[in-house]
Structure 1
Amino acid sequence: MIEEVSQLEMWFEFIKQNWLVFLIALIVLLAIVSFVKTMIKWALVVVIVAAVAVYSGITWDDVNNVVTTVKDETVLKLKDQAMNSMMEEAKKATFKSNEDGTYTIKSPNLELTGTPNSDKVKISFNGVSLGEWSMNDTIRDFVKEAKQNK
């Protein structure tokens, strides 16, 4: 807790000492976004934000850690939502046997593709592929319910 407070104080002190740089960067960003109408404006925005980040001492490892954390949390939330949707949408799911021996199950928000007697299925949630998952009880129940809805 003390370390968090000291880091927060450090950031406030840094901003106090460099407020003019941040103000100029903000004004330049607003001007670019307002007046430049091409894709170049976004390149300039990225360059300015990167320059301010480098100036403030943020490393690429810090940025990479934040991006990785956000990505992992987002995927985890999507997986949780997909599992909840499986339980809620099982009665609406439709089962289809494909010509290549695989099966596809579709519900309003989910699409599941698998091979009979396989432990792996591919899952898409709201059109976003969530990759290949191992079968668990929830997925097995979803498949069983969809087969009954034929």
Structure 2
Amino acid sequence: MMDVQVWIEFLKENWLVIVVALVVLFLILNFVKTVVKWALVLVIAAFIIIYSGISVKDLSEAVSTVTDQAASIGKNEVLNVMKNEAKDAKLTQNSDGTFTITTPNLEVTGSKDSDKVKVTSHGISLGEWKVNDTVETFIQEAKKNSK
């Protein structure tokens, strides 16, 4: 990631350009109410980024890091929801050999022959997950609740 000292030096050397850019951005946001407004905002932001010397590689690394962290946090939250809602989980055995487990906030689908399940939360697919201890416990609890 970028060194904090680099940012401090950049801000010291270019504070006037940044202030002018911010003033122009606020003027644009206040007076222009169309798609053109956002195009101008993006152009000014791109100019500042290019002018500051931040490379596309730095930006992509930052986006990748944030995305990975968000995915990890999201998965941990869903695993916690699984633990908390296991007592309410209901398993439905489908005729094609697959199963569907539903709770108030989750839907988990899979087959007994697979080591992966598809997880959906509030209608949003969270992808295919490998069956770990938490997921296995969730499946077993749903089976008990459905008898």
Which TM-score applies when normalising by structure 1? 0.87
* Residues in 1 aligned to 2:6 and 2:101: alpha-carbon distance in whole angstroms: 54
* Residues in 1 aligned to 2:105 and 2:16: alpha-carbon distance in whole angstroms: 49
Q: Is the alpha carbon distance of 1:64 and 1:19 closer, same or farther for their aligned partners in structure 2, counting shifts above 3 Å? A: same
1:81 aligned residue (69, 77, 80):
77
CA apart distance, 1:99: 4.1
Task: Report whether the alignment pairs 1:34 with 2:30.
Answer: yes
Q: Is the alpha carbon distance of 1:46 and 1:146 closer, same or farther for their aligned partners in structure 2, counting shifts above 3 Å? A: same
> In terms of mean alpha carbon deviation, does 96-105 or 84-93 score higher?
96-105
Q: Is the alpha carbon distance of 1:104 and 1:39 closer, same or farther for their aligned partners in structure 2, counting shifts above 3 Å? A: farther
What residue number does 1:141 align with? 137
Instruction: Write the mapping of 1:90-105 to structure 2, written as runs, cut at 5 A.
Output: 90-105=86-101
The alignment of Structure 1 onto Structure 2 pairs a total of residues equal to 145
RMSD: 1.8
> In terms of mean alpha carbon deviation, does 34-43 or 47-56 score higher?
34-43
* Residues in 2 aligned to 1:28 and 1:98: alpha-carbon distance in whole angstroms: 60
Which amino acid in structure 2 is aligned with residue 134 of structure 1? K
> Following TM superposition, where does structure 1 have runs of at least 4 consecutive aligned residues deviating by more than 4 angstroms?
none
What residue number does 2:105 align with? 109
Q: Secondary structure at the match of 2:54?
A: coil
- Identity rate of aligned residues, in percent? 50
5+ long unaligned stretches in structure 2: none
CA apart distance, 1:89: 0.6
> In terms of mean alpha carbon deviation, does 122-131 or 28-37 score higher?
122-131
CA apart distance, 1:124: 2.1
5+ long unaligned stretches in structure 1: none
CA apart distance, 1:28: 1.2
Which amino acid in structure 2 is aligned with residue 131 of structure 1? G
2:4 aligned residue (4, 8, 22):
8
Task: Report whether the alignment pairs 1:69 with 2:81.
Answer: no
Q: Secondary structure at the match of 1:104?
A: strand
Which TM-score applies when normalising by structure 2? 0.88
